[in-house]
Structure 1
Amino acid sequence: MEERLMSKKKPAYPVSKALDDYLKHYNRKSEIPIFYDDLLRFSGSVVVYDNNDEDTLWIRVYYSEFDRKEIDDSLKKVYSILHSDGSNNIHQYLNVDAVDFCTFGNSKPFRIKIRNILNDNFTYFYIKRTDASRIYGLELEHMLSPYNLNFLVYKDTLIEEHIAGIPGDEFIRNMLPKCSEPEKAQLAKEFVKFNERCMIRLLGDMRSYNYVIVPTHDFDHVVYKIRAIDFDQQCFEGKLKVYRPQFFKENYQMVEMVRNKLLRDSVDQYKLEERSMVAKRILSSRNRIKKLRAICKEDTISTEENIALLKDQIGTLTSDSNFSKCRTMGEVLDLALNFVRRNYEDVSMKQIIEQNIKI
């Protein structure tokens, strides 16, 4: 199914001068001592298996003794820039436990495991090749989702902080069957909202291994949230279904749970809630999101074929003829966000008028 739904290969798009200036203005750009290509100089690797001895599609790489110290020092520096003040003061307390390389997917990231030797706490960060569409995805997630993201860009290298949570495929396979009925109903609600949020901001390919489930204990129950962790397919594909997680077979059990646990009216209510929250975030982000959208409108982050297909499908869905005038994928995104914002403002104004009439 996915071979027909998704393009075979998405290219990495360069960062434009306008986007580079934007990143610098909002402190997303920082000089770093190591680049993605430096990590490709590994001299060997071993397969990383999970607790069930299954291949994780990651390999643990190792470097020659000559390269190792320089790479370790540089990775500690990157950690300090990402999470602290960028100084070398904390380096003595850090150890690079592992450098893993993912051989699956478009971005082919390196995953760096950094451990504090004083207390054995550890965290991860990722090093990838810079891709303009991925940067737009990260920024939109930062502004339009409930979550903040920390990342850095320097020349052809992108540094992303780790997003903690239980991988969606692992959760669906091992933990979902053990959830109580109220927990399943709450998860169904979150999946509806997640599905709506992805479609609104054109984040594609949210198969179960591209998002995580985040459990939070609240008094006498557990609250689950869903977070995207892969932003490679921001505003690229032409088929609208790619931007709706419900259409991927890997999410079948989540979709079935929505059908079993939620009434149609509840689904519509949660969709409206999510659209309203996104509209509020658009309004509260003010100049920042305006600048990003203006830059994206003039950028090249997809193909002519994909743009033509998506603007036609969204135009049909929204009955908005303005989509037919879009020249770029950024213009499609901009119009989609305007559509959500306008609907929210129209409903809010209608409520104000009705309340005044009653008074």
Structure 2
Amino acid sequence: MPTNQKLISKKKPTFPISKELDTFLTKYKRSTKISILYNDLLRFQGSVSVYDKNDEDTLWVRTYYSEWDRKEIDRSLKKIYTILHSDGNDSTIPFLNVDAIDYCTFGNSKPFRIKIRNILNDNFTYFYIKKADASRVYGLELEHLLSPYNINYLVYKDTLIEEHISGIPGDDFINNILPECSSSEKSQIAKEFVKFKERCMIRLLGDMRSYNYVITPIHDFDKIIYKIRAIDFDQQSYEGSLKVYNLQFMKENFKIIEMVGRKLQNSSIEQYKIEERSFIAKRMITTPNRTEMLIDCMKKDAISRPENVEQLKKDLIAYVGDVEFKKCKSMGEVLETILAFVKRNYLDIRNKDLF
């Protein structure tokens, strides 16, 4: 089985927000004005490592700023919170406190994680500030449009603000919780993983190693059901190898892939794949203008290397047998062809059922 290092050979560059994408973000209220940018937060004077409950290094550091900078930063971060989660009204700002500004030293995006607490009741939440990258913005918007989950994010110039997605990190869940799950729970998790895997493949979201998604338990009557959500959208439509978009080739997922093989028959796996494709097709049909405008932006945008586009076209032709991919000149056109294939198959079957 190939290693992740061979699949993902080079560090992905950051791609700027194009004029077309900026127009899309403005039209759909994803763009806003803020008084602090990502680079402003890099001016911290010191930091200390953040450890988890088991005293293991989380690879996050807690930052410290000068007293004057901290006052200005706190005020700006509280304002961002009100814009992200409310209407931007200043009336709630006196009841908010910035408990922590953490900086991640691991991965491409080098995000800041902001912990905001309501001082009246001690409820708290997080949001993230990152360097704006067109790949990541496309990934977030595609998740919002084509997955079962809404995504809340904002962009201003070269700064991206993302809401926190709650859940148990996939690697922690697989190693510590999955072994204790009941047989029926494992079957349900296997079903969700098949759907998640299919969703990532169809919309070309790559590098879904177990620490790039979360698993969320939800109580439903007398049982617990589990949902799987991506939390890292850095590798949207960039890599050339189709295997990067297939979760089964990530060694961190081997345990759960093996469980899928034990718990589900091939006929069930195919059923769940069809269900996910149908769901994506329905989402495209119900939001046609927004989806088409986003894909048009991607088609005009350079978010990958030319050699990656050529390699992915070859892999997809071999995988699905559709020579339409030969005509594609960009990752946006490749994705458009995949989604058109999914939508066309769904409508063909639906039309047959109607007559």
- Structure 1 runs of 4+ off > 3 angstroms? none
State the TM-score, normalized to the length of structure 1: 0.97
TM-superposed deviation, 1:295: 1.2
Find the partner of 1:192 among 184, 191, 194.
Answer: 194
The residue correspondences of 1:28-177 to structure 2 (distance < 5 A) are: 28-177=30-179
Question: In structure 1, what is the equivalent of residue 309 of structure 2?
Answer: 307
Distance 1:32 1:66 in 2: 19
Q: After superposition, give the CA deviation of every residue in 1:20-75 in whole Å (9 maximum; x if it has no partner).
A: 01100000000011100000000001111111111111111111112110011110
Q: Is the CA contact 1:163–1:229 (under 8 Å) kept in the aligned structure 2?
A: yes
> What is the alpha-carbon distance in structure 2 between the residues aligned to residue 228 and residue 201 of structure 1?
12
- Matched with 2:266 is 264
Counterpart for residue 356 of structure 1: none
8 Å contact from structure 1 (residues 200, 337) kept in 2: yes
C-alpha deviation, 1:128, in angstroms: 0.3
**2:232 is matched with which residue?**
230
CA RMSD of aligned residues (A): 0.7
AA matched with 1:7:
S
Give the letter aligned to residue 15 of structure 1.
Answer: I
SS of alignment partner, residue 34 of structure 2 = coil
CA distance in 2, matches of 1:7, 1:37: 28
Residue 76 of structure 1: how far off its partner (Å): 0.3
- The residue that corresponds to 1:351 in the other structure is 353
Partner of 1:18: 20
Q: C-alpha distance in 2, partners of 1:301/1:196?
A: 22
Q: Return the alpha-carbon distance in structure 1 between the equivalents of residues 185 and 236 of structure 2.
A: 30
State which of 249, 252, 259 in structure 2 corresponds to 1:250: 252
Q: Secondary structure at the match of 1:89?
A: helix
Normalised to the residue count of structure 2, the TM-score between the two structures is 0.98
Deviations 1:93-128 (A, max 9, x none): 000000011111111100000000000000000000
Name structure 2 gaps, 5 residues minimum.
none
Name the CA distance, whole Å, in 1 between partners of 2:176 and 2:97: 32
Runs of 5+ unmatched residues, structure 1: 354-359
Contact 1:47/1:58 (<8 A) preserved: yes
CA distance in 2, matches of 1:203, 1:15: 19
One-letter identity of the residue aligned with 1:96: V
User: Identity of aligned pairs, percent?
Assistant: 65
CA-to-partner distance for each residue in 1:138-165, whole Å, 9 max, x for gaps? Answer: 0000010000011000000000000011
Residues 7 and 237 in structure 1, CA contact (< 8 A), matched pair in contact too: no
Q: Which residue of 2 aligns with 1:2?
A: 4
The residue matched to 1:51 in structure 2 has which SS? Answer: coil
CA distance, structure 1, for counterparts of residue 262 and residue 111 of structure 2: 37
CA distance in 1 between counterparts of 2:107 and 2:257 reads 24
Q: Match for 1:253: what amino acid?
A: K
Deviations 1:188-242 (A, max 9, x none): 0000000000000000010000000011100000010000000000000001011
Secondary structure of residue in 2 paired with 1:172: helix
Q: Distance in 1 between matches of 2:311 and 2:5?
A: 17
